[in-house]
Amino acid sequence: MIVLERMARVCGALAALFLCLIGVVVTAQIVARLFSMQIPASDDFAGWFMAASIFLALPYAMLRGDHIRVSLLLQVMPERLHRPYELVIRKWPRVWWRCRCGFRSWVCRLAWDC
């Protein structure tokens, strides 16, 4: 178990490193543009660094028992409202997607009838 904890901490440190590298690449690209130059594939590097930082941060977040989510509202909300709030937040994407698909099918049906 100690080995897994150390690996998770190393992954967390690497995730922080990749976040810093995103800042370095973006800053270097800004400076290069000031001198009318361009760093080839800097957008690609930033994208890869972002993916690496996200996936490397997951073991560290699980080790600490954290969730990668915004919990600001839960901190100021009364305890009795936590469960209903989380149910609404979890169900909302499904409801939105069903309404969106239903609206699109209705529009397609209207277009087909014309």
Q: pLDDT for 88-97, tens place per residue?
A: 877 877 888 8
| Model-wide pTM > 0.75 | no
Residue 101 CA to residue 114 CA, distance in Å, equals 20
Contact (Cβ atoms closer than 8 angstroms) between residue 68 and residue 58: yes
Handedness of CA 91, 94, 98, 104 (dihedral sign): positive
Q: pLDDT tens digits, residue range 22-41?
A: 999 999 999 999 999 998 88
Handedness of CA 37, 43, 46, 52 (dihedral sign): negative
Q: Which helix (H) or strand (E) holds 82?
A: helix 82-113
Confidence of residue 104 (pLDDT cuts 50, 70, 90): confident
The two three-digit tokens of residue 51, written as one number: 């993916």
